[in-house]
Amino acid sequence: MFHSRLARTALLAAIISTFVLSAPVAPSAPVPKHLMPKDEPVCFPTRVGDRMVSELRGQEIVCVVTKVEKTDDGIAVTQEFEDKQGARMHDQTVIASTAGLKVVRYAGTAIDKPVWWLKLPHGANNTWTDNLGGQETKTVDWEEIEVPAGKFKAIRVDRNDSPDGSAKTSYWFAPGLGCIKWADANASRVLTSFTPGK
């Protein structure tokens, strides 16, 4: 009796192990989104009607996104200055993408060689030479910065304004907002408010 019970248990174990080993394997669960690599954020406003108000030397500067078009390189975003009477004039057209921000039109004029305000992927000391005056420009790192419009996480970019590096301008680019602050030894421009387009 003991042997028959042992034989049945062994037979049952063999059947179960055969079933378990031959059962189809389920596909593995997907990697959670928070663990997936993330694209670099687009550090520019990209909706028609996005309105940025900044202050420079006590003067209010209003920029409004007036046109957005998809291109092969990303999104072409046109911003215009708006005066107190509501009249507008071209400020800049920027191609915004996960590759960075490059200016293709400035003050109503096409630029022969686009100027990179920001090059991505982001990495500390990612360096390039701009096409305006040949200045060396580099990303420094992500920083938390507070301006009158609020506190934001932004990529800091430093541009050498002199050949020996003694003068520089720093820019802070925040996702969805663009440049929320720039500062040099003489002045700074800061974002005071942002109103999203509809």
| CATH number of the domain where residue 83 is located | 2.40.360.20
Confidence (pLDDT) at 38: 58
- Cβ(61)–Cβ(7) under 8 Å? no
Query: Domain for residue 131, yes or no?
Result: yes
Residues of the chain where predicted confidence (pLDDT) is lower than 70: 1-39, 124, 131
Query: Domain for residue 1, yes or no?
Result: no
pTM listed for this prediction? 0.77
Query: Domain for residue 159, yes or no?
Result: yes
Query: Domain for residue 29, yes or no?
Result: no
Query: Domain for residue 148, yes or no?
Result: yes
Q: Rounded CA gap, 36 and 56, in Å?
A: 40
Domains identified in the chain, total number: 1
For residue 106, the enclosing domain spans 51-195
**Residues 6+ positions from 40 with CB-CB distance below 8 Å:** 98, 99, 100, 120, 121, 122
Query: Domain for residue 21, yes or no?
Result: no
Confidence (pLDDT) at 39: 65
